[in-house]
Amino acid sequence: MCGIVGYTGKRSAAPVIVEGLKCLEYRGYDSFGLAVTDCESAAKSDAGGLAVIKKQGRISDAGRDVTLLNGNTGIGHTRWATHGVPSDVNAHPHTDCTGDIAVIHNGIIENYAELKRSLIAEGHTFKSETDTEVIAHLLEKFCNAADADGLIGEERIDFAVKSLMETLEGSFALLILIRGFSGLIAIKRFSPLVLGIGDEELFASSDMTPILEHTQKILFLEDDDYAYLMPEGIRVFSYPSGDAVEREVKTVDWDVESAKKGGYDFFMEKEIFEQPAVFVNSFRQSIDDKAVSVLKKASSITVVACGSSYHAGLVFRYLAEKYCKIPVRVEIASEFLNFAIAKGTAVIAVTQSGETADTLAALRHAKASGCPVFAVTNVLGSSVTRIADHVLYTRAGPEISVAATKSFIAQCAVLMRIVSVLGKGIFEKELFEIYPVLEETLLFDPAGASAVCKDAENIFYVGRGVYYPISLEGALKMKEITYIHAEGCAAGELKHGPFSLLTPETPVIAVCTKDASYPVMISNIKEMKARGAPVIAIGSAGDKDLKEIADIFIPLPKSENICEVISATIILQMIACNTAVLLGRDVDKPRNLAKSVTVI
């Protein structure tokens, strides 16, 4: 989750871009870079027709020299590392062999490895470890092909851009400079990218924060749009047709602080709405063949984690046992030292920050016991990455709100990817295509459910199978940010004690989709209703029986069962967040809690 800024207009581009990048450091801050065209220094630059500066470190700590590039068109990037360690070489922009093309990128190119191998075989030389650099080399290749066909001007650029979009798999927001093209090229697929229209100047950015200082006129690109930001204005086209399209220009009446939150009142709301892209980016990644081989050879897998990460591990257990027939244990990291580790076990530590003290202690214990150890984390270079033999990164980007939302979704995505790989592609197609399902999920209005929850002293969350850990996570979100006591239960356990707590003042939130446990889950809900408890039921679209039983029925978007797991999670997050707002809680900073627990 990096930050990107582009500018073309009457002013010097570099100072505008640098100030914009400083607004985006919340998206990444391990390195930065700029590329500017029409520079007096271009002839002396290693980038040939472009002047490029890129360095490891924070843009906010950069010296004045980064603003001294002369030119009216440029692009800039502040990085949150995914492919390759933070370094000058791995910082963006990335250029082609000739130095005539510069690219900055937010997202992930899932087929970059095969593209890189092919380009190297064709004679291209790579400098960095990033997935982004393949984009610059591909554009060089496609521009050369256009030249060979006699294409010039915008026809040449059109050919290269459409060829690039046809070739790339994954998610990306791209800003591109090509020598001889008097403007910026912007491309969007799944990753955020907005454009701004000022007085004889145009802007592009990952979000509106850097733009609003200059203009309130904003144009939102849609997925598979590409745009040319030229002196005469913005022209937007739709891939694959290449047809010109109109995108509404909106006047946004926000201040810069509101823009950092994407116009939402709270970071938690913003982060909930980022989850479609976060899930896709996290799931659509390759897993090293060596890591897969180790997992396949393991006699069992043990997951160690805390809090929401523990619940993600439980989701993994249900799916791995069902689809891969692999025995899986999931242990709370702080308790793991009390247990023996079976010979042949692979241990996976799940930690958002990579610094969770209990999880680090558990992983060291596993490694000392001779187990192969894996880490699922959001932070490159964190402590857990230095202990683990194999690391799988989530693609959530920085998460500001204390309550985990997009980081939990990203962990589920990575763990589901492991299940898919070990299960020979099980539900891969469904989860590759989940983006519009999650976008539709975000249309849900939680007002009705929150009105029931806000006056309760106790709330039960119930589910069966994989929805048991989802219920645990839903209850955790509710108690974290509303301070209402909420308890997640396996629905089959209600009769073994918790039934005594059910009253007309005790709402039950039940997740009941049309999976194998549906008939018995319906019976459980009827039993809860018989005790007078109001039931909020989340279920499959078109479920007339569940709608008839429940006091409030929340239908999930029509999709495959595996997609409903993620949709149901988002619904529970939205209910908790809205309930906290109704109660006047500090949504982003709940009392007594911290984002990363680095003490035992």
Tokens 């202990």 found at: 387
Rounded to two decimals, the pTM is 0.77
Angle at CA of residue 350, ends 347 and 354, nearest 5°: 115
**Domain segments of the chain: what residues?**
3-259, 264-433, 443-600
- DSSP class per residue in 406-464: HHHHHHHHHHHHHHHHHTTSTTHHHHHT-HHHHHHHTT---HHHHHHHTT-SEEEEEES
Residue type, 352: Q
Q: Where are the beta strands (DSSP E) in 10-132?
A: 31-37, 51-56, 73-79, 94-95, 101-109
pLDDT at res. 103: 97
329, with CB counted inside 10 A (0-12, 13-18, 19+), is: middle
Q: Where are the beta strands (DSSP E) in 90-183?
A: 94-95, 101-109, 170-178
Tokens 């949150």 found at: 80
| pLDDT, tens digit (0-9, with 9 covering 90-100), for 89-107 | 999 999 999 899 999 999 8
From the CB of residue 477, how many other CB atoms can be counted at a distance below 10 Å? 27
| Stretch 180-184: mean pLDDT | 90
Nearest to 91 by CA among 41, 21, 43: 21
| Stretch 51-79: mean pLDDT | 88
| Integer Cα distance of 20 and 200 in angstroms | 18
Q: Does domain 443-600 have CATH number 3.40.50.10490?
A: yes
Q: Which two tokens stand for residue 181?
A: 């093209």
Residue 141 appears among annotated catalytic residues? no
- Identify the CATH homologous superfamily for domain 264-433: Glucose-6-phosphate isomerase like protein; domain 1 (3.40.50.10490)
Weakest mean pLDDT among 41-45, 298-302, 392-396: 41-45
Weakest mean pLDDT among 69-73, 434-438, 473-477: 69-73
- Identify the CATH homologous superfamily for domain 3-259: Aminohydrolase, N-terminal nucleophile (Ntn) domain (3.60.20.10)
Nearest to 178 by CA among 77, 96, 70, 100: 100
Cβ-count burial 123-143 (b if 16+ within 10 Å, e if not): ebeeebebbbbbbbbbbbbbb
Contact assessment for residue 342 and residue 366, using Cβ atoms and an 8 Å cutoff: no
The radius of gyration of the chain's CA atoms, rounded to the nearest angstrom, is: 25
The residues near 415 (Cβ < 8 Å, ≥ 6 apart) are 312, 313, 315, 316, 319, 348, 350, 376
Q: Which two tokens stand for residue 426?
A: 């099980």
| pLDDT, tens digit (0-9, with 9 covering 90-100), for 214-262 | 999 999 898 899 999 998 899 999 999 999 999 989 888 777 767 778 7
Nearest to 164 by CA among 133, 138, 134: 138
Tokens 């999976």 found at: 515
| Integer Cα distance of 55 and 534 in angstroms | 58
pLDDT at res. 30: 85
Q: Please give the C-alpha separations between residue 391 and each of 82, 290, 292, 450, 516, in angstroms, as whole numbers.
A: 11, 12, 12, 39, 34
Task: Decide if pLDDT at 16 tops 80.
Answer: yes
Which of the four pLDDT bands, split at 50, 70 and 90, describes residue 1?
low
Nearest to 183 by CA among 174, 175, 192: 175
pLDDT at res. 463: 97
Alpha helices, H only, 196-288: 256-260, 267-273, 275-283
DSSP state of 18: H
Cis check: omega of the bond before 15, within 30 degrees of 0 = no
Task: Decide if pLDDT at 42 tops 50.
Answer: no
Tokens 């920050």 found at: 353
From the CB of residue 469, how many other CB atoms can be counted at a distance below 10 Å? 26
Percent of the chain scoring above 70 in pLDDT: 96
| Stretch 199-211: mean pLDDT | 91
Residue type, 467: Y
| Integer Cα distance of 187 and 239 in angstroms | 10
Average pLDDT, the chain: 91
pLDDT at res. 597: 61
Task: Decide if pLDDT at 599 tops 70.
Answer: no
- Sheet holding 3-9: strands in order across? 51-56, 31-37, 73-79, 3-9, 201-205, 194-197, 217-220, 249-251
| pLDDT, tens digit (0-9, with 9 covering 90-100), for 271-317 | 999 999 999 999 988 899 999 999 999 999 999 999 999 999 999 99
Weakest mean pLDDT among 173-177, 378-382, 475-479: 378-382
pLDDT at res. 600: 58
Q: Which residue has the higher pLDDT, 2 or 417?
A: 417
Q: Which two tokens stand for residue 163?
A: 């060829």
| Integer Cα distance of 595 and 267 in angstroms | 13
Residue 595 appears among annotated catalytic residues? yes
Weakest mean pLDDT among 33-47, 376-390, 532-546, 566-580: 33-47
Task: Decide if pLDDT at 40 tops 90.
Answer: no
The residues near 173 (Cβ < 8 Å, ≥ 6 apart) are 4, 105, 106, 107, 186, 187, 188, 189, 191, 192, 193, 206
pLDDT at res. 500: 85
Spot the catalytic one: 2, 143, 512, 577.
2
Angle at CA of residue 585, ends 568 and 311, nearest 5°: 35
Spot the catalytic one: 322, 529, 589, 595.
595
| Stretch 4-10: mean pLDDT | 96
pLDDT at res. 39: 42
532, with CB counted inside 10 A (0-12, 13-18, 19+), is: exposed
Q: Do domains 264-433 and 443-600 have the same CATH topology?
A: yes
Angle at CA of residue 8, ends 5 and 10, nearest 5°: 130
From the CB of residue 434, how many other CB atoms can be counted at a distance below 10 Å? 24
Q: Which two tokens stand for residue 447?
A: 């007002």
| Stretch 540-551: mean pLDDT | 95
Contact assessment for residue 25 and residue 78, using Cβ atoms and an 8 Å cutoff: yes
| pLDDT, tens digit (0-9, with 9 covering 90-100), for 355-389 | 888 999 999 999 999 999 999 998 777 889 989 99
